[in-house]
Chains A and B, each alone.
Chain A
Amino acid sequence: QKEVEQNSGPLSVPEGAIASLNCTYSDRGSQSFFWYRQYSGKSPELIMFIYSNGDKEDGRFTAQLNKASQYVSLLIRDSQPSDSATYLCAVNVDNDMRFGAGTRLTVKP
């Protein structure tokens, strides 16, 4: 079982819609959770992090964490074509960062 699993996508949504990205992790000792965005040919950049169960909102982005289900998600409201990228879920276990394979999101105008 992979440590961090994501829907491989590609995920395509129309402009203005909500994009929902999902991630599950295997290690119950995981302490913190991150969403990185990677544009094609570029390095990943952090967009959200979450430590506690529940929702965390930052502008159009909401991260959701459910430790009991070992599940973390990212919602992007009012999706824009500029949101088209690969979204990487990352999990910190004892200061080791493990990434999922990423979900490619395309927002169509």
Chain B
Amino acid sequence: GEEVAQTPKHLVRGEGQKAKLYCAPIKGHSYVFWYQQVLKNEFKFLISFQNENVFDETGMPKERFSAKCLPNSPCSLEIQATKLEDSAVYFCASSQWPGLASTGELFFGEGSRLTVL
């Protein structure tokens, strides 16, 4: 597709429930990033992929968060046993990055708002 598609736009979960978010990157983009933005504050890096391989997962709270980017499927971000502090907008972004020859621009999806009650 020509744009990064994130679903769902809104998700409400009770504390302790599972939440799963999806992201379809722009066709041909080999890098996918997930960010968490809490109440319009810090844009926190979670994880990045190069194709289906994890590139950097240093931002992931691994005990409850997991992510995948499998061939021919949307990427996913899953939160097991959600907590109140997981309430945030989760942005997915994709990029084609052939070194410095590219602008390195990230193309963002519209975000998925997760509310944990």
In the bound assembly, the distance between CA atoms of A90 and B95 in angstroms comes to 14
Which A residue sits closest to B40, measured CB to CB?
Answer: A86
Q: Bin the interface of chain A by size.
A: 20 to 34
Check A96/B105 contact, CB under 8 A, given A32-B100, A40-B40, A101-B41: no
State the main secondary structure of chain A at its contact with B.
strand
Which B residue sits closest to A89, measured CB to CB?
Answer: B43
A92 within 8 A of B: yes
B48 within 8 A of A: yes
- Chain A residues engaging chain B, CB cutoff 8 angstroms: 31-32, 34, 36, 40, 42-46, 49, 51, 86, 88, 90, 92, 95-102
In the bound assembly, the distance between CA atoms of A88 and B106 in angstroms comes to 12
Check A49/B108 contact, CB under 8 A, given A99-B35, A100-B43: no
